[in-house]
């Protein structure tokens, strides 16, 4: 059950057109184009719509898929899954549990220790970098 409820018009005003298309209309950014694909900064990846912490940079890896990939969420309660049969495929959609925004898809091919890959659109994320020293 989501904690944030807004009308689609409210979301449209708050998100960029690309974020709205991906987060609210379940679109996908083209592979190898996302802002965070090659990002190496340590920190927490949050939902771009509501700020819920989703993934730690410690669980990010290069899957070769063209999208930022993680092997585990920060807290499984923050990410929900739902069957997605669009585009003639059967896969598991991942959704922010707090605002029900589309994040990407979960695949059963990932590294240890989980063996799964959370394949996420960069536009669905906002990196909150770890501050070093007295910054």
Contacts of 119 (CB under 8 A, 6+ apart): 63, 65, 67, 68, 69, 104, 105, 106, 107
Q: Which of 75, 47, 72 lies closest to 60 in space, CA to CA?
A: 72
- For the question of residue 119 being annotated catalytic, the response is yes
Of 47, 50, 99, 119, the catalytic one is 119
∠ Cα 97 79 2 (to 5°): 5
Q: Cβ neighbours of residue 26 under 8 Å, at least 6 residues apart?
A: 84, 86, 93, 102
So which residues are the catalytic ones? 119
């Amino acid at each position: 059950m989501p904690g944030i409820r807004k009308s689609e018009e409210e979301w449209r005003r708050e998100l960029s057109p690309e974020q709205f298309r991906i987060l609210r209309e379940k679109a996908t950014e083209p592979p190898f184009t996302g802002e965070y694909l090659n990002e190496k900064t340590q920190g927490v990846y949050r939902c771009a719509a509501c700020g819920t912490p989703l993934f730690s940079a410690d669980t990010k890896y290069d899957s070769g898929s063209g999208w930022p990939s993680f092997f585990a969420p920060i807290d499984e309660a923050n990410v929900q899954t739902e069957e997605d049969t669009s585009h003639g495929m059967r896969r598991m959609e991942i959704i922010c549990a707090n605002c029900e925004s589309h994040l990407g898809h979960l695949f059963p091919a990932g590294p240890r220790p989980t063996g799964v890959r959370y394949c996420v659109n960069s536009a669905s994320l906002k990196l909150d970098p770890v501050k070093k020293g007295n910054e």
